[in-house]
Every structure is written in C-alpha cells, then in structure tokens.
C-alpha cells in the first residue's frame, strides 16, 4: 500500500509550555521560549535539543516546534520545519506573511534555539517569515553534539537579507549552548 498522508505531532507537553495568549515583546523573550522548548524536548526524551516558534504581528505564538525526527521517523521533522508547517496549517496559507491576495501581512518571526541547518535554511527562504532570531550558532551545535548541520551558502545571512529576511544571532547564546552541552554530555540519541 502506498502511503497517501503524512501525520506529524508534537509531544503533548508542548501545550503546557507555550502560552498563545502572551505577547513575547522582545527578541530575547522569543528565543528564550525556543530554548525552553529545546531543553524540555531533550529532558523528556521526546526528540533532539532543538526548539522553535513562529510569532505573528502581535508578538504572540502562532505555532511552536521541537525536533521529533526519530520519534516521528522522518528526517524533515526538525523544530523549525515543524513550527513552519503548523503555522502554515493554522493560517491556511503556504507563505506566512502573504494573505490570500498575495499582499504582505506581517511581520512574522521565527525564533530558534540554534542556527538552522541546511534543510531548515531552505525552508526559511520559502516559509514567509520576515525575521529569523537565533540562539546558538552552527559551530556550537558541532562543538557540543554530534549533529551535522550540513552546508550553507558562504553568505547565508546576506542571502536571507536579499530575500527580505532580517537575521539576528547570538540571542541568549549561552543558554542555548547549555542545552546543547547537556544533551551532548548524556550521549543522547541523535534526534
């Protein structure tokens, strides 16, 4: 039988962590939520040490994601991709920052606990976000875990900028590194 449907789910605990009524006004607050998701995901052993959240124009969470690659048996289930897909489904549009008439509607922001890998970078180009907020850098991921983040364009920040996506890095970087280090020290499964 040929599978004709994809079904991905977040761990149930995510609903207890994310407050969709709260406005996360600062970039630091947004990334702090992504880092909290990453830490909880690793501690609960429901996936890898990565978390992300999409925020809408009101600074409220539209959708959140955590890495569920191994539990969901798909290499595409990275935190950023989960957050993008859930936000797109919630808003019923493939580009978050474009309404049904193609007009800009935003800004939409993705906050992530660590720099997107090559797969999530590609998704960011097309997801329809205006801003990308990052905790840990790719070199932190490589140093503290066994994950391979894959190749990015040499000027990946510039490439996103040319597409209208503002990038801010190193937000709460030490906190994000601590989650990665804790995961790496346990010899955690490669989620």
DSSP notation for the chain = -----------TTHHHH--TTS---SHHHHHHHHHHHHHHHHHTTSS-S-EEEEE-TTS-EEEEEE--HHHHT-TT--HHHHHHHHHHHHHT-SSTTB-TTS-B----EEEEEE---HHHHHHHHHHT-SEEEEEE-HHHHHHHSS-------TTHHHHHHHTT-EEE--TTHHHHHHHHHHHHHTT----
With bands split at pLDDT 50, 70 and 90, how would you rate the model's confidence at 191?
very low
As a whole-number percent, the residues of the chain with pLDDT over 70 amount to 98
Q: State the pLDDT at residue 187.
A: 75
Mean pLDDT, rounded, for 86-109: 96
The token duo for 1 is: 């039988």
User: In the chain, what is the straight-line distance between the N-terminal and C-terminal CA atoms, in Å?
Assistant: 28
Q: Does the pLDDT at position 189 exceed 80?
A: no
Q: What is the mean pLDDT of the chain?
A: 96
| Neighbouring residues of 88: CB distance < 8 A, sequence distance ≥ 6 | 94, 95, 96, 127, 128
In this predicted model, which residue has the larger pLDDT, 1 or 83?
A: 83
pLDDT in tens, 9-46: 999 999 999 999 999 999 999 999 999 999 999 999 99
Distances in whole angstroms, Cα of residue 50 to Cα of each of 3, 16, 35, 88: 28, 17, 7, 20
Q: Which domains does the chain have, with CATH numbers?
A: 23-185 (3.40.140.10)
Q: Does the pLDDT at position 161 exceed 50?
A: yes
With bands split at pLDDT 50, 70 and 90, how would you rate the model's confidence at 188?
low
Q: Does the pLDDT at position 163 exceed 90?
A: yes
Cα of 136 vs its chain's centroid, Å: 12
Mean pLDDT, rounded, for 94-107: 95
Residue labelled with tokens 């990946």: 156
Q: State the pLDDT at residue 190.
A: 52
Q: Does the pLDDT at position 84 exceed 80?
A: yes
């Amino acid at each position: 039988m040929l599978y004709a449907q994809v079904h991905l789910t977040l761990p149930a605990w995510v609903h207890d962590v994310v407050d969709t009524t709260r406005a996360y006004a600062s970039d630091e607050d947004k990334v702090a939520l992504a880092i909290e998701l990453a830490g909880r995901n690793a501690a609960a052993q429901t996936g890898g040490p990565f978390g992300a959240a999409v925020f809408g124009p009101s600074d409220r969470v539209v959708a959140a994601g955590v890495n569920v690659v191994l539990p969901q048996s798909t290499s595409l289930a990275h935190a950023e991709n989960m957050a993008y897909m859930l936000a797109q489904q919630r808003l019923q549009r493939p580009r978050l920052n474009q309404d049904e008439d193609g007009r800009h509607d935003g800004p939409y922001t993705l906050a992530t606990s660590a720099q997107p890998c090559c797969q999530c970078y590609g998704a960011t180009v097309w997801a329809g976000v205006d801003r990308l907020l990052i905790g840990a850098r790719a070199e932190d991921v490589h140093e503290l875990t066994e994950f391979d983040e894959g190749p990015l364009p040499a000027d990946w920040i510039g490439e996103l900028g040319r597409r209208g996506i503002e990038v801010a890095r190193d937000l709460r970087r030490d906190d994000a590194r601590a989650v990665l280090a804790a995961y790496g020290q346990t010899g955690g499964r490669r989620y």
